[in-house]
Amino acid sequence: MKDAASELAVTPGAVSQQIKSLEEDLGVQLFLRKTRAIELTEEGHKLQPEVTDSFMKLRHAVDQVRPKDTSDLKIYAAGMIIRNWLLPHLHSFSELAPSVKTNVKTLQSWEDFQCGEGEVAFCLSRKPPIDLHSRCIHRLLLMPLASPEFIAAHPVASAQDILNLPLLEDVIFGLMSDKSGWESWIEAAGLNEQTPNYAMTFDPLSADYALDMALEGKGVILGWSIQVYQALAQGRLRMLCEPLLETDFHYYTVCNETEAEKPQVKAFMDWAQKEAALMSTLRSMKHSAA
Q: Cβ(209)–Cβ(80) under 8 Å?
A: no
How far is CA 155 from its chain centroid?
31
**Tens digits of per-residue pLDDT, 99-136?**
999 999 988 777 767 788 899 999 999 999 888 999 99
In three-state secondary structure terms, 126 is: coil
Q: Which phi and psi angles does 94 have, rounded to 5°?
A: -60, -35
Q: Which phi and psi angles does 139 have, rounded to 5°?
A: -95, 130
Which H/E stretch holds residue 50?
A: helix 42-65
**Tens digits of per-residue pLDDT, 22-71?**
888 889 998 888 877 788 898 888 888 888 878 778 877 877 776 655 57
**Tens digits of per-residue pLDDT, 233-288?**
899 999 999 899 999 999 999 999 999 999 999 999 999 999 998 887 666 555 43
Domains 1-65 and 139-249+280-289 share a fold: no
Q: How far apart are CA 277 and CA 272, in angstroms?
A: 8
**Tens digits of per-residue pLDDT, 140-154?**
999 999 999 999 999
In three-state secondary structure terms, 158 is: coil
CA quadruple 112, 117, 77, 33: dihedral sign: negative
pLDDT of residue 290: 37
Q: How far apart are CA 194 and CA 201, in angstroms?
A: 18
Q: How far apart are CA 208 and CA 78, in angstroms?
A: 11
Distances (CA, A) of 90 to 103, 110, 123, 234, 256: 11, 22, 17, 17, 22
pLDDT of residue 14: 78
Instruction: Tell me yes or no: is domain 1-65 CATH 1.10.40.30.
Output: no
Please state the CATH superfamily assignment of the domain spanning residues 139-249+280-289 in this structure. Periplasmic binding protein-like II (3.40.190.10)
Question: What does R_g of the chain's alpha carbons equal in angstroms?
Answer: 21
Every domain of the chain and the residues it spans? 1-65, 139-249+280-289
